[in-house]
Structure 1
Amino acid sequence: MLTVVLLLVGFFIIYYTYWISKWRNPNCNGVLPPGSMGFPLIGETLQLLIPSYSLDLHPFIKKRIHRYGPIFRSNLAGRPVIVSADPEFNYYILSQEGRSVEIWYLDTFSKLFRQQGESRTNVAGYVHKYLRGAFLSQIGSENLREKLLLHIQDMVNRTLCSWSNQESVEVKHSASLAVCDFTAKVLFGYDAEKSPDNLSETFTRFVEGLISFPLNIPRTAYRQCLQDRQKALSILKNVLTDRRNSVENYRGDVLDLLLNDMGKEKFLTEDFICLIMLGGLFASFESISTITTLLLKLFSAHPEVVQELEAEHEKILVSRHGSDSLSITWDEYKSMTFTHQVINETLRLGNVAPGLLRRAIKDVQFKGYTIPSGWTIMMVTSAQQVNPEVYKDPLVFNPWRWKDFDSITVSKNFTPFGGGTRQCVGAEYSRLTLSLFIHLLVTKYRWTKIKEGEIRRAPMLGFGDGIHFKFSEKE
């Protein structure tokens, strides 16, 4: 009996040692980038989820760049990952989409577009082109200029007016609700005032749980995230059903376009349309609310920036003297030179997402390294945005630095909205909304910091304990 026990123990030790060795040294038809695979099963996920309290790169990434170089391997959320802060490699990977790589998300994000067991996060080719065109028809530059400019200004005006009637406003949460409700109305006709459900609250909770370890057991952030996702989809399904049963004339929004094309586009099922609606909300509102909050935090520490913004926007008001219109025009928006510099600088420091993700669909060769087929590639494009060789004192908020940059430098070192064929459709929508927010804020309101809050990167940018302000109208 003792002999059997010793044999079993020996077999277990040998198997465990072999398994650990295989984990630490994955199969590869070439040379893997240096790095560590972390602990079995969980990899280095916990290190990435440890919060940092700086606008700099997350320490998980920064420390490994110093140790291994700009391209290294890891394991996150149970998946082998190549992490890259190498601009040349990132540019190459973005150019290879549809050939050697495809868009990819970690499991938590993949649930966002999952339909009947199939992940839709990596849609490519015709489907991607179709969806991109559908959203651009609504929030592209032409429609922004011709139709949405006044509506966005009205939304921002109403939001700031509402904030001025409150003793204290937690900016990130309040901005998220306002932008989510407005975007849902623009894209899909959702009316927050008439709906019995609260889409923006549900959706905001869902987004907050996206960066969590995919452990689907009770009382975990991931389980709550999935529940909020299902509730949000249920609300959107009701919106879709009401639209299909409505006798109202054609509205011309994204939902109308998708419903009208269901007969000729086989991929457009009701479930998939609901997922498209959910994805459209996610892509548009998170960056706006986060950057709005960061703007106010930075304004409090840099009154000289606010002073120059006030001068620029007062000049716009003076030049409009005698005009019947009290609304911003497209030409005035484009003339906001310093405002655009402020937004660029805030986007540069914001780095809302930890990186862009792709998956190798065949072995990728680069600079002597091999990225095996099936591995995830995380491109930390934000590393270039805090590169001291490009941006002097990169963690200093300095909007004036943008006066000296040429277009080539910007295109290579500034990618807040992604790059390649997947560049964010809502980039101009976000910039316009932020510009109108700044215009109305500095010309009509005063604000006082009530609660400082703190920068919190875990790994997406957030604000621990919230950032609270008191707003009041100027006399």
Structure 2
Amino acid sequence: MQRHGPLFRTSVMGKQVVISTDAEFNNYIVQQEGKLVELWYLDTFTRLFEQDGDCETHIGFSAIHKYLRTLLLNHFGTQNLKDKLLFEIQECIYKTLSAWSSKGSVEVRHATTIMLLNFGAKGLIGYDPEKATEDLGEKYTRIMEGLMTIPLNIPGTTYYKCRKEQESVVNMLRGMLKERRASLASDQTHEGDFLYEISKDMDKEKFLTEDFVAHMTFGVLLATFETLSATMTLAFKLLADHPSVLEELTAEHEAILKKRENSNSPITWEEYKSMAFTHQVINETLRLGNTLPGLLRLAKKDVSMKGFTIPAGWTIMLVPYALHLNPNTFKDPIEFNPWRWKDLDSLVVSKNFMPFGGGTRQCVGAEYSRVFMATFFHILLTKYRWTMIKGGEIARNPLLAFGKGVHIKFSEKTN
């Protein structure tokens, strides 16, 4: 940026790429989805999620995206969060924290990954880790180790091991899909979940082949935990390093308990929406976390703006964290300061804060992620004590990483 400005071209792994750290240009591009640009992935991602038949060519990616987005919004959207998921999230967190408190310490990134994946997989595909013959959590953990590596599918490489684990998960999902399809009429146990709805639609939607559904479900499951587990782990690190923030956050949640007739009652949607400082902490953690290195788009046509023309076929990489760390928007940008969000203009925020992407591609799980974090910290701060034991070194490779991990001891409050 210092050398070339906020908008420049370069070459990444032999591909011509335009890098944008310009808020106006980024906002313009995310509004051009399906018009001037389309979604694009790194080769590693593409090869992990590819299916036979190239159905996107015949059906159109936009139609597939619309179908999948609608299906996921039915599960992770606001209405289902209010009606069902908020209570289920609380049950999951109570059970998880109880288990963590019985251990000497917990490595939070790994533990939150398992918690989030198991919860998401239960609601999406009816997965029960206590009955399953294969451990999804451990398999996905190994897959993530190779997700950002050079895609050399040669025995011995991290990527090769990643592909083997991915193939194992996809085969497991393919088997579950066959079983679900065979018992669709008689088994109502999983009625309404993600796999149930897709199974019903496979006879009328031609692009929903067995192979496509298995790969798509693999990707959806990965999305339920990867960025959220990193953000939650970072929140622990930041709260441990900033006791004044932790104090105010704890006070907000204890005040919610005092207003209830029964302090052990479940969190209501109204209580969740009232957690003003909690939402500021979440926003500030998301701003500093920057769990996505960049948002990638492919120019379908020539894109002209600000005196530049990006040729069709070039890749465009939007870099949200350059906006999130811009001192002109966020004063002292590397400082963890949740109070800053009280005075930020909503229009400025809409153009300079993109933790969940933007436009029609904004993550359907954005509100789900916020609800899970807010609920987790409500239960943690009112029912448990926690102490960081070791670790917490922050690194990027380029995804957010935590050196030797963040190890925390949990214990239940006695009064």
TM over 0.5: yes
SS of 1:68's equivalent?
coil
Q: Which amino acid aligns with 1:272?
A: F
Aligned residues: 410
Counterpart Cα distance in 2 of 1:453 and 1:318: 33
1:161 aligns with 2:98: yes
1:302 aligns with 2:238: no
The residue number in structure 2 matching 1:174 is 111
Q: Which amino acid aligns with 1:257?
A: E
* The 10-residue stretch of structure 1 (234-243 or 105-114) with the greater mean CA deviation from structure 2: 234-243
SS of 1:451's equivalent?
strand
User: Could you tell me which of 334, 339, 348 is aligned with 1:409?
Assistant: 348
User: Could you tell me which of 389, 401, 404 is aligned with 1:462?
Assistant: 401
- Tell me the alpha carbon deviations over residues 363-413 of structure 1, each in whole angstroms, 9 at most, x when there is no partner: 222222222222111100221111101111000001111111232121111
Q: Indicate conservation of the 8 Å contact 1:114/1:120, yes or no.
A: no
Once the 2 structures are TM-superposed, how far is the Cα of residue 461 of structure 1 from its aligned partner? 0.9
Unaligned 5+ residue runs, structure 2?
A: none
Once the 2 structures are TM-superposed, how far is the Cα of residue 220 of structure 1 from its aligned partner? 1.5
Q: Indicate conservation of the 8 Å contact 2:36/2:300, yes or no.
A: yes
The residue number in structure 2 matching 1:371 is 310
Once the 2 structures are TM-superposed, how far is the Cα of residue 123 of structure 1 from its aligned partner? 5.8
Counterpart Cα distance in 2 of 1:431 and 1:356: 20
Q: Indicate conservation of the 8 Å contact 1:112/1:278, yes or no.
A: no
The residue number in structure 2 matching 1:211 is 148
Alignment of 1:78-97 (within 5 A): 78-97=14-33
The residue number in structure 2 matching 1:201 is 138
The residue number in structure 1 matching 2:382 is 443
Alignment of 1:32-111 (within 5 A): 65-111=1-47
Unaligned 5+ residue runs, structure 1?
A: 1-64
Counterpart Cα distance in 1 of 2:210 and 2:313: 30
- Tell me the alpha carbon deviations over residues 301-360 of structure 1, each in whole angstroms, 9 at most, x when there is no partner: 11111111111111111111247x621011111111111110000000000010101011
- Tell me the alpha carbon deviations over residues 214-267 of structure 1, each in whole angstroms, 9 at most, x when there is no partner: 222222222122112111111211221222233311610111111111111110
- Tell me the alpha carbon deviations over residues 136-185 of structure 1, each in whole angstroms, 9 at most, x when there is no partner: 00110000100111110111111111111111111001110110011011
What's the RMSD between the two structures over aligned residues? 1.7
1:474 aligns with 2:413: yes
Q: Which amino acid aligns with 2:362?
A: Q
The residue number in structure 1 matching 2:77 is 140
1:277 aligns with 2:213: no
Counterpart Cα distance in 1 of 2:112 and 2:64: 32
1:327 aligns with 2:327: no
Larger radius of gyration: 1
Counterpart Cα distance in 2 of 1:463 and 1:370: 39
Counterpart Cα distance in 1 of 2:146 and 2:20: 25
- Tell me the alpha carbon deviations over residues 59-118 of structure 1, each in whole angstroms, 9 at most, x when there is no partner: xxxxxx111111122222332211110111111211211112110001001123211263
Counterpart Cα distance in 2 of 1:76 and 1:474: 51
The residue number in structure 1 matching 2:301 is 362
SS of 1:66's equivalent?
coil
Q: Indicate conservation of the 8 Å contact 2:24/2:351, yes or no.
A: no
Counterpart Cα distance in 2 of 1:120 and 1:406: 40
User: Could you tell me which of 336, 344, 363 is aligned with 2:275?
Assistant: 336
Counterpart Cα distance in 2 of 1:204 and 1:76: 27
The residue number in structure 1 matching 2:49 is 113
1:260 aligns with 2:200: yes
Once the 2 structures are TM-superposed, how far is the Cα of residue 133 of structure 1 from its aligned partner? 0.3
Counterpart Cα distance in 1 of 2:53 and 2:315: 20
The residue number in structure 2 matching 1:61 is none
Counterpart Cα distance in 2 of 1:407 and 1:367: 25
- Tell me the alpha carbon deviations over residues 435-460 of structure 1, each in whole angstroms, 9 at most, x when there is no partner: 01110111111111111231111111
- Tell me the alpha carbon deviations over residues 264-283 of structure 1, each in whole angstroms, 9 at most, x when there is no partner: 11101111111121111122
